[in-house]
Structure 1
């Protein structure tokens, strides 16, 4: 082989070795990046599990509050029903008192008339 050819082969080999070295360095960097990404992914998964746990706790609290709210609503409905019943009773009592008052006024007026008639009869 000629010297020139050997030099070219040597240059090509040198270039190939450099490329393989660069490729190897790139692969090392990529592996490091992959490890970091895997680490980040594990942290993200851990965070996601914590978020899911928190969400379950929030849902539990919401259910408890919902049950309490329903209980309060039920009590308020009972109170409204009771108050409406009492209101009707009070109105009925007032109506009875009004009727009694009207009756008493009528009786008082009738008695006054009869007294006036008796007075006039005695005076004459």
Structure 2
């Protein structure tokens, strides 16, 4: 099998595109709303939102490929966990959101669960 098309690589690309898409939309939405309300150009925030939507659609297409390769009982929990972890990291880095110690502990537990699922598969 082509190494680039292996399931773990597809999973990484899926999660990165999915979460990046969500973060771009979340980041651009207030700017887009403010630009429209003020009658200013909304080209830049609109482009960011469209890019985010495009990444999210692309991630969905990758998800369809992943589903054809692996059992749902394995890939769905991993997908949810991985996107949750990536979302937390990008929310902190890009959106400057706060993560409490209990949320951090929960993220570590999610990571442990993903590791156990991946090893069991």
Superposition TM-score tier, normalisation by shorter sequence: under 0.3
TM-score norm. by structure 2 comes to 0.26
Identify which of structures 1 and 2 has the higher relative contact order when contacts are C-alpha pairs closer than 8 Å and 6+ apart. 2
Normalization by structure 1: what TM-score? 0.26
| Greater helix share, structure number | 1
Which is greater in Rg? 1
